[in-house]
Structure 1
């Protein structure tokens, strides 16, 4: 008898006897049968609780293993639904209108579940625009294959996973999976299982086949998954070497991308059955022939694994980090970048991916003034407080009782908070921290009405800061520390601040920010930030993650998308624009990916490049006399992207 077929029979009978084949469902979930010409499965959703603003519920796909059907997978789906996650359970063989066994199953079949989610008004992809997919055993193999072939799936969660493609069940010469109509090459069977033994353990037979030379090119290309991968295995899995195979997957993904993209947990004293919702006492099974098939683990070890696995799964499903690129850096070219930086008077530079510094130059922990990059810092606070309903972007200056030492006209008072953030207020007045060059570029007062024209000016930005403090009842620096710096674990920023005078020596400051008043121009101060390159990179990573940090949504994706949408074209030749306190690199035919950035006095820069999973921070020590050729900043950016191999270049 084929080994896979034997295991299928054992597991199917076992789950049936344990009451898992057609389970009753708890009262706190809704279960609907999905029975269409394209898809067989179940929709399991939380019964109670309405999401904020009645938004569609984030939905995951769950795949069962070699037992076939979808009822066993439904137990894991119930566990997820009880934590507030909607789940589409997909049967891909062994049930109505599907193949009877796991043989030549198109991996594209799972896409019907994706279509089902996309067509439902109550179900939703996650904030990365992807759908989480969960699989156990052979279902984990399928989940990894699906994620490797289709960017729409992430995070990929594989319980008791396989690192390689295995063959069909019941036919050792046939493929289990196909893609685009072609069979996927699989690990050949060289081992000779002895089915006559009293206690049957499959582990060593799988190891023999896995270690055979002709298995090498049958490995799943999990490094091609554009998203997070969570690998969960038991160290006492007696069915197959899932812990070893999880290690193979982790090493492959980490070596070709960002190590934080993949997380692997091996549970002590746990066996093959570690999926939440399944019986933790399922460590072995005796079949009708009196033979005992060992699955491994102890009931206590399995239970601990299932409990932690559920926690890990819920966290990553509800708040994933978003990854797009699988490109890696050429270290020789990074060395060339470092050599150039040594000649450029750059004070520090950070390249960050997934919250990890992958390249640094200079003292990345020295804090000094970030100049105009203060605007994205304020953007974050506006996003949080607007989403909380404490700030109305449509409120006018008149409604907020905003005036200045040069009184505003009635038309100027009609400008909204939103137009301030877009630098389209139509108010062209002197302001603190405004250079003569900036002032010279402003239109004559009254030339344009609010919302009619973009004009980069500090009056808008300074007043936006004052309005935030008025509506939030706290200083910008206190709010930033509480809402951003502390949750992100910034190393230097604590929120300390002072108000400077004309006699203040900026180079002697130790604070994180300072207010700069110029009372002859305006009653509203400029709010300056002093930050290190490292802390700035963490902030950029928050935006790269679409607002998620440590499984918590700090800023909504919707706010980040709105903020980094261009409302004004600032450079028609380069297709650059301005959003809300962010510069935007607008997608176009030969550059399909949006990015966003802000500069400070033309030499500091914070850039966020989602298509390359990259945060870029460049600093120059401008609190003292400095020499830096602004053109060198463009050279440095070019060298960074030249070092990215197989990247979607900007």
Structure 2
């Protein structure tokens, strides 16, 4: 697509981020990054280049926003949908990665205007906060999300877990696996109600994810939706990690924790996922 036809707008206020608007577009995509807080303009541009309007949303850490992923109002995402609908988009797609995938799946359970969700390296349950809330306090732990001012149930973390390392970096996968076992009752209450999602759901997960067990989470989502009579598309690869790289992206690895996978496997899964995303669009 001719990039001169893409109008870029920096948004602020309750809906913050970068909007890449394509004239005549009837599909709008909301792009949600993970816990890095990055406004993923590069990924949004992938979508704009195929003729849809894309909103790379800043959903925490910006001016006048909650500094960490702590009790983030789901209403922020509803407002993002409002913005795209107001531009004339009749089809709304959410594309989220990691914590962004957690958000996308949750939002789709409450907003019937969403037509499709692509959850990359997803989770099947709600987890606690990453970083502080508006009070600047990171602990005691709180939910990542609220709805109508009420925190959503979440699986708590056990600070006494024993870390393991991959390539010299801490792998948090064991923490999440441990917490699911240690807090089974809480995990049941914190399950994302994916059975209620009316949108098309596509999951992308690597079997070598060292951050959390995204492929196992994805399999749980598939099974629960299947039990409810709903189909789910799962795109996966055993050797890919948490960082799934779509064509043309240069997403860096974190220097603070292990992703698993490797550059080739992550990119190969990204190419497979992009083909499926294009079909979905």
Task: Please report the TM-score for the alignment, with normalisation by the length of structure 1.
Answer: 0.39
Correspondence for 1:124: 89
Match for residue 31 of structure 2 among 37, 58, 62: 62
Correspondence for 1:306: 270
Instruction: Give me the whole-angstrom Cα distance separating, in 2, the residues matched to 1:314 and 1:96.
Output: 34
Deviations 1:434-491 (Å, cap 9, x if unpaired)?
Answer: xxxxxxxxxxxxxxxxxxxxxxxxxxxxxxxxxxxxxxxxxxxxxxxxxxxxxxxxxx
Correspondence for 1:201: 171
Query: How far does residue 211 in structure 1 lie from its aligned partner after superposition?
Result: 2.5
Are residues 1:99 and 2:66 paired? yes
Are residues 1:43 and 2:19 paired? yes
Instruction: Give me the whole-angstrom Cα distance separating, in 1, the residues matched to 2:117 and 2:164.
Output: 38
Query: How far does residue 132 in structure 1 lie from its aligned partner after superposition?
Result: 1.0
Q: Secondary structure of the equivalent of 2:119?
A: strand
**Which runs of 5 or more residues in structure 1 are unaligned?**
1-25, 288-292, 319-650
Are residues 1:162 and 2:133 paired? no
Query: How far does residue 141 in structure 1 lie from its aligned partner after superposition?
Result: 0.2
Match for residue 176 of structure 1 among 139, 144, 165: 144
Query: How far does residue 205 in structure 1 lie from its aligned partner after superposition?
Result: 1.1
CA contact (8 A) 1:29 1:78 kept: no
Q: Alpha carbon RMSD of aligned pairs, Å?
A: 2.2
Correspondence for 1:256: 228
Are residues 1:84 and 2:51 paired? yes
Instruction: Give me the whole-angstrom Cα distance separating, in 2, the residues matched to 1:81 and 1:190.
Output: 42
Correspondence for 1:244: 216
For the pair shown, the structure with the greater C-alpha radius of gyration is 1
Instruction: Give me the whole-angstrom Cα distance separating, in 2, the residues matched to 1:148 and 1:155.
Output: 11
Are residues 1:230 and 2:230 paired? no
Instruction: Give me the whole-angstrom Cα distance separating, in 2, the residues matched to 1:35 and 1:28.
Output: 20
Q: Secondary structure of the equivalent of 1:229?
A: strand
Instruction: Give me the whole-angstrom Cα distance separating, in 1, the residues matched to 2:209 and 2:3.
Output: 33
Correspondence for 2:111: 150
Instruction: Give me the whole-angstrom Cα distance separating, in 1, the residues matched to 2:217 and 2:189.
Output: 14
CA contact (8 A) 1:61 1:132 kept: yes
Deviations 1:332-373 (Å, cap 9, x if unpaired)?
Answer: xxxxxxxxxxxxxxxxxxxxxxxxxxxxxxxxxxxxxxxxxx
Deviations 1:152-187 (Å, cap 9, x if unpaired)?
Answer: 112111000000000111335211100111000100
Are residues 1:185 and 2:153 paired? yes
Q: Secondary structure of the equivalent of 1:294?
A: coil
Instruction: Give me the whole-angstrom Cα distance separating, in 2, the residues matched to 1:29 and 1:94.
Output: 30
Q: How many residues align?
A: 268
Query: How far does residue 279 in structure 1 lie from its aligned partner after superposition?
Result: 2.6
- Name which structure has the greater RCO, CA cutoff 8 Å, separation 6+: 2
Go from structure 1 to structure 2 and tell me whether the alpha carbon gap of 1:200 and 1:154 turns closer, same or farther (over 3 Å shift): same
Instruction: Give me the whole-angstrom Cα distance separating, in 2, the residues matched to 1:285 and 1:136.
Output: 14
Q: Secondary structure of the equivalent of 1:87?
A: strand
Instruction: Give me the whole-angstrom Cα distance separating, in 2, the residues matched to 1:303 and 1:102.
Output: 27
CA contact (8 A) 1:140 1:159 kept: yes
Instruction: Give me the whole-angstrom Cα distance separating, in 2, the residues matched to 1:44 and 1:310.
Output: 19
Instruction: Give me the whole-angstrom Cα distance separating, in 1, the residues matched to 2:259 and 2:195.
Output: 29
- Listed as ranges, the matches of 1:575-614 within 5 Å are none
Match for residue 211 of structure 1 among 181, 194, 207: 181
Query: How far does residue 240 in structure 1 lie from its aligned partner after superposition?
Result: 0.4
Query: How far does residue 217 in structure 1 lie from its aligned partner after superposition?
Result: 2.0
Task: Please report the TM-score for the alignment, with normalisation by the length of structure 2.
Answer: 0.87
Query: How far does residue 286 in structure 1 lie from its aligned partner after superposition?
Result: 3.7
CA contact (8 A) 1:62 1:88 kept: yes
CA contact (8 A) 2:235 2:272 kept: no
Deviations 1:595-627 (Å, cap 9, x if unpaired)?
Answer: xxxxxxxxxxxxxxxxxxxxxxxxxxxxxxxxx
**Which runs of 5 or more residues in structure 2 are unaligned?**
132-137
Instruction: Give me the whole-angstrom Cα distance separating, in 2, the residues matched to 1:33 and 1:56.
Output: 16
CA contact (8 A) 2:163 2:171 kept: no
Query: How far does residue 114 in structure 1 lie from its aligned partner after superposition?
Result: 1.6
